[in-house]
Structure 1
Amino acid sequence: MRIRLKRYLFLVHRWLGIVACVFFAMWFISGVVMMYVGYPKLTERERLQHLPPIDAQLNLLSPKQALDAAGITGPLSELRLANASAGKPVYLISPTNKKSDAMGSKQPARVGSTVVIDAQSGERLRNVDVQHALASAAAYAGKGTTVSYLDSVDEDAFTHSRALDAHRPLHRIEINDQDATLVYVSGKTGEVVRDATRNERIWNYAGAWIHWLYPFRGNVFNAYWTDIVIYLSILGIVAAITGTIVGITRWRFSRPYRNGSHSPYQNGIMKWHHIAGLLFAVITITWIFSGLMSMNPWRIFDSGAQPLRTELMQGGPLTISTQDAAPKNLLAAIDHPVRELRWTHNLGLSTVLAYGAVGAPSLLDSHSATARTIDQNALLASARQLLPASVASVEQLDHYDLYYYAREPHTMGGGSEKPLPILRVIFDDPHATWVHIDPHTGLVLGKIDSHKRTSRWLFAMLHSWDWLPLLDRRPLWDILLIILSLGGATLSITGVIIGWRRLGKKLRAV
């Protein structure tokens, strides 16, 4: 029985390993590339820096006039003003619709499609043609830089993100700069929604594109991509675990083999594979498992918690009236170039966030155009309404910690703004929810419940080693991950060679 079980372990590891080691090798090597070049993205900071400043001398429509031109009368989920489409000032309006069910109760708000209104003429953008897209790309590139139109695509190697679904089809335009930057312009709003330099594009084929198995996206395998990644990871874990058991049982710790070696393999690829497997088995299993966790398989990290009641915290939905100040008055109140105005409803007051190229936004009362500050006591009192549960405690974070931290923009979790200080409101609800709030703007930055905190450990911590003592001590983080990745790659590549030889023998015997 024992001999039979041992034989089964050998067979499972051998034949699963022939397939799994190919993917292991790709994942280890591409993972090192992703440490320095990530999947292309347009970060919020990049977007603002490339937006031309709004000209305070222009006679722009008021927010109410823009909504009237769009024929929108209800509450909004978002209202922005920026030179974001064809390099011209436009209002980008996202209405919020609420549906009632058969019993008459209100369902959660859903965001409608974005409506784009020319802030000077009031004309509604209905079609983003080639000339419009070229103008948007030229504004993004800046003065003195030419652009060249390539084509229109629904999805390509650098636009698999589901966040871009609302903008498809996308216009692809190349900026004639030293980086040969490729920009993607939304076919719906005319905004630049992604950029990718030549360096990013080249390295991505050896990095994120292969690491996330994107060759299976955008083709006949697209519908099965998630399952392919999940089940390949599971097969990889089984191959690695069985290989570890086989490797340990074949290693003689106290009594060497006749050749004096602790391994039965005297030299060559088999010995390298055996030793590399014993040295790097744990990290291999850990990385494959944490990669599986990144997919949230079978939605195990979805807690089913109800959404935050942000409208209650804000004191009602965002609505616009004739009392809202004209852009000229708002811009005159700011002493630096403004790239975007964003309207919000905050603690019962209509507020405008004025964003520059860098730094935190300035806050203005949207009616009087005077500077506004957030009352901390009122903010905390309102934050208690986010969930129908009591608040266990409130913390102020002046430094990053294990659950709120910044990563480099190119990384998977990087690119989003992580301001400090922030408030962490801890609720005594069944899901142990934490809500992060920016005390400067009064906006909710995000929430994390017990399921998401578990995901943070099983994915980000185990896979990317997002541990502040290491991240704050680079290049120690780099050195450790590269050494471990090279060890895993050695294990994988030797496995590929062994598998290739084994298959060759089998095929020649047929």
Structure 2
Amino acid sequence: MSASDLGRVAGRGPSVPASAPLWKMVKRWLYIFHRWTGIVLCLFFAIWFLSGLVMLYVSFPSFRAAERVATAAPIDWGQVHVGPDQALARLKEPQFPAKMRLGMTGGEPVYRFATEAGRRAVSARTGREIHGIDASHARQIAGTLVGAASLSVDPVDHDQWVVTRHYKAMAPFWRVRLADAAATDVYVSQKTGEVVQNTTSHERFWNWLGAVPHWIYFEALRLFQEPWRQTVLWTSGIGMLGAVAGFWIGWMRVRLARRYKSGSVSPYRGWMKWHHVVGLFGGIFLICWVFSGWLSMSPWGGLRDKARDVASLYAGARNSFPATDKATLARTAHGAREVRFAYLGGGPVISIWGHGPTALLDANSGKAMIPDRAHIAAIARSAMPGARLTTTDRLEQPDRYWYSTGDPRDDSRPLPILRLKFDDPARTWLHIDPATGALLGQLGSGGRSYRWLFNALHSLDLPWLLVWPPARHIFIWLLSGAGLVISLSGVVIGWRRLFPKKTRQP
């Protein structure tokens, strides 16, 4: 006799499947988990959606190469008495620096270097290494940059706008407040006199409503890389699981064919109904958006491409630079705002910026040069030992992996470029400027996956939306609106759960 028959004989009716109590318990804990993660994190979600909309229009302050060149004064070649070879020899560095450039700083031409030991600078006028600047000199540098008098100068090791690891090697700073209409703050390195950051009152105000809460970028926490990373990982990770639980519950509670007595697909009313119905439509977006933010913190190593020393192999640099005819360089680079010195496939080159199209010179001869495709391919092969070059494409238009959203935080991606594809395990792509031969970036299989799992899901930089940028903004507003309704309704529901209204006794 079966267990079911025994049950009937005993008068207990059909037996209950053994899994039923377990499923009942799972559903109970699913409700509890969603309820309490919502109570704790829905306010965070609302802040993240609102701050993300602010970030769409106001970026976190930065002082990138394009702005540095655009705001620099033309090089005063009459003051350049020291050649690049002499300036580099002064440092006695064992390796050629990652970056070496010449530009004006506070009315003086200065060579600047990014070395393994940190940032260093040498005066092109005197040949002396710059070991430190005082507050008065910082005032002059900042005032020359912006064209305004200074109001105050304060020494800072870090603050809200120079808090990341990127700035640690350049600290401490002079923070110079200028008397211009934008209330600009310029951060000047006390070690070398290099301008490393600038902010305006407009940027500072809106970033307190944008990037700072969105990235949980509060100075006291952001100073410590790993605690900050863990905070974002756990907050977004738990929030993502809570959102998945809510979406699951939402679909279990919906009735499409046999509706509730009210005729609705949802059993809820008021804020609960808004939370339920909008969650059904916007829940997938919310889950994907939180997942992509969580992924940006590289859990378990993430999908970032593993570091490979392609740049130094591509450059093939030595630890010196050839003597340069300063008079010839001055004539060729007349009006330039910045001159950069580098190696390309073992050959020294000079690039000239800020006076029209970038020009490339052979540092040995001083003559203009444009590397041909065969030469670039040969250099690229040497930078990828053990890998075979399979394809070389010339991109004239943006595509799914080489594009710009118009966000000023991103360095502009010039066109045309060459894309060289290799058959190494990571299927690496090298992006190269055909005019200068410069390596603009590398992208492996991990980076290409990350482009879709983070950029596409979080920033919505989908190819069909990038064709007409306003469409992307409209789409972001619509989906963020759905996320806000889900989050704010969750805040109200959570508040009522924690602080229920007291009913009056008759």
TM-score by length of 2: 0.90
**2:11 matched to which residue of 1?**
none
**1:350 matched to which residue of 2?**
348
Shift of residue 118 of structure 1? Answer: 1.2
**1:64 matched to which residue of 2?**
85
Q: How does 1:32-431 map to 2 (within 5 A)?
A: 32-72=53-93, 75-84=96-105, 86-95=106-115, 111-142=116-147, 145-215=148-218, 217-218=220-221, 223-266=226-269, 268-304=270-306, 306-308=308-310, 310-317=311-318, 319-321=320-322, 323-326=323-326, 328-334=327-333, 336-356=334-354, 359-388=356-385, 389-411=387-409, 414=410, 416-431=411-426
The CA deviation string for residues 162-185 of structure 1, in whole angstroms up to 9 with x for no partner, is: 322221112211222221122211
Quick check: 2:317–2:347 contact (8 Å CA) kept in 1?
Answer: no
Shift of residue 395 of structure 1? Answer: 1.0
Q: 1:3 to 1:363 in 2, by over 3 A?
A: same
Quick check: 1:37–1:410 contact (8 Å CA) kept in 2?
Answer: no
Q: 1:244 to 1:218 in 2, by over 3 A?
A: closer
Q: 1:300 to 1:458 in 2, by over 3 A?
A: same
The CA deviation string for residues 242-279 of structure 1, in whole angstroms up to 9 with x for no partner, is: 1111112222212222223222123x211211122112
The CA deviation string for residues 169-212 of structure 1, in whole angstroms up to 9 with x for no partner, is: 12211222221122211233211111112111111111111000
Q: 1:79 to 1:475 in 2, by over 3 A?
A: closer
Q: Distance in 1 between matches of 2:420 and 2:220?
A: 39
- More displaced, 216-225 or 336-345? 216-225
The CA deviation string for residues 327-346 of structure 1, in whole angstroms up to 9 with x for no partner, is: x4202123x51111111122
Quick check: 1:64–1:320 contact (8 Å CA) kept in 2?
Answer: yes
Shift of residue 30 of structure 1? Answer: 0.6
**1:475 matched to which residue of 2?**
470
Quick check: 1:340–1:356 contact (8 Å CA) kept in 2?
Answer: yes
Q: Distance in 1 between matches of 2:217 and 2:335?
A: 40
Q: 1:221 to 1:434 in 2, by over 3 A?
A: closer
Percentage of identical aligned residues: 38
Quick check: 1:318–1:345 contact (8 Å CA) kept in 2?
Answer: no
Q: Which amino acid aligns with 2:134?
A: D
Q: 1:222 to 1:295 in 2, by over 3 A?
A: closer
Q: 1:43 to 1:63 in 2, by over 3 A?
A: closer
Q: 1:248 to 1:54 in 2, by over 3 A?
A: same
Quick check: 2:54–2:210 contact (8 Å CA) kept in 1?
Answer: yes
Q: Which amino acid aligns with 1:384?
A: R
Q: Distance in 1 between matches of 2:438 and 2:144?
A: 30
Q: Which amino acid aligns with 1:272?
A: W
Q: Distance in 1 between matches of 2:408 and 2:307?
A: 30
More RCO (CA 8 Å, sep 6+): 1
Q: 1:230 to 1:216 in 2, by over 3 A?
A: farther
Shift of residue 312 of structure 1? Answer: 4.3
Shift of residue 31 of structure 1? Answer: 0.7
Q: Which amino acid aligns with 1:330?
A: L
State the secondary structure of the residue aligned to 1:479: helix
**1:464 matched to which residue of 2?**
459
- Higher radius of gyration, 1 or 2: 2
Q: Distance in 1 between matches of 2:100 and 2:452?
A: 36
Quick check: 1:425–1:436 contact (8 Å CA) kept in 2?
Answer: yes
State the secondary structure of the residue aligned to 1:400: coil
Q: Which amino acid aligns with 1:294?
A: S
Q: Distance in 1 between matches of 2:150 and 2:186?
A: 10
**1:10 matched to which residue of 2?**
31
Provide the aligned C-alpha RMSD in A.
2.2
Q: Distance in 2 between matches of 1:169 and 1:59?
A: 28
Q: Which amino acid aligns with 2:348?
A: S
Shift of residue 73 of structure 1? Answer: 6.9
**2:16 matched to which residue of 1?**
none
Any unmatched runs of 5+ in structure 2? 1-20
Any unmatched runs of 5+ in structure 1? 96-110
Shift of residue 300 of structure 1? Answer: 2.3
Q: Which amino acid aligns with 1:472?
A: V
Q: 1:222 to 1:91 in 2, by over 3 A?
A: closer
Quick check: 1:325–1:366 contact (8 Å CA) kept in 2?
Answer: no
Quick check: 1:333–1:370 contact (8 Å CA) kept in 2?
Answer: no
**What is the number of residues matched between the two proteins?**
481
Q: 1:225 to 1:48 in 2, by over 3 A?
A: same
State the secondary structure of the residue aligned to 2:469: coil
Shift of residue 432 of structure 1? Answer: 0.7
The CA deviation string for residues 381-434 of structure 1, in whole angstroms up to 9 with x for no partner, is: 1211111211111111111111111232435xx2x1311111111111011111
Quick check: 1:244–1:281 contact (8 Å CA) kept in 2?
Answer: yes
Q: 1:261 to 1:435 in 2, by over 3 A?
A: same
TM-score by length of 1: 0.89
Q: Distance in 2 between matches of 1:212 and 1:62?
A: 44
Q: Which amino acid aligns with 2:478?
A: I
Q: Which amino acid aligns with 2:280?
A: L
Q: Distance in 1 between matches of 2:301 and 2:76?
A: 47
Shift of residue 298 of structure 1? Answer: 2.1
Question: Is the counterpart of residue 437 in structure 1 residue 432 in structure 2?
Answer: yes
The CA deviation string for residues 108-157 of structure 1, in whole angstroms up to 9 with x for no partner, is: xxx23232111111222111221121121112113xx2122342222222
Q: Distance in 1 between matches of 2:259 and 2:402?
A: 50
Quick check: 1:150–1:173 contact (8 Å CA) kept in 2?
Answer: yes
Quick check: 1:39–1:200 contact (8 Å CA) kept in 2?
Answer: yes
Q: 1:348 to 1:260 in 2, by over 3 A?
A: closer
Q: Which amino acid aligns with 1:503?
A: L
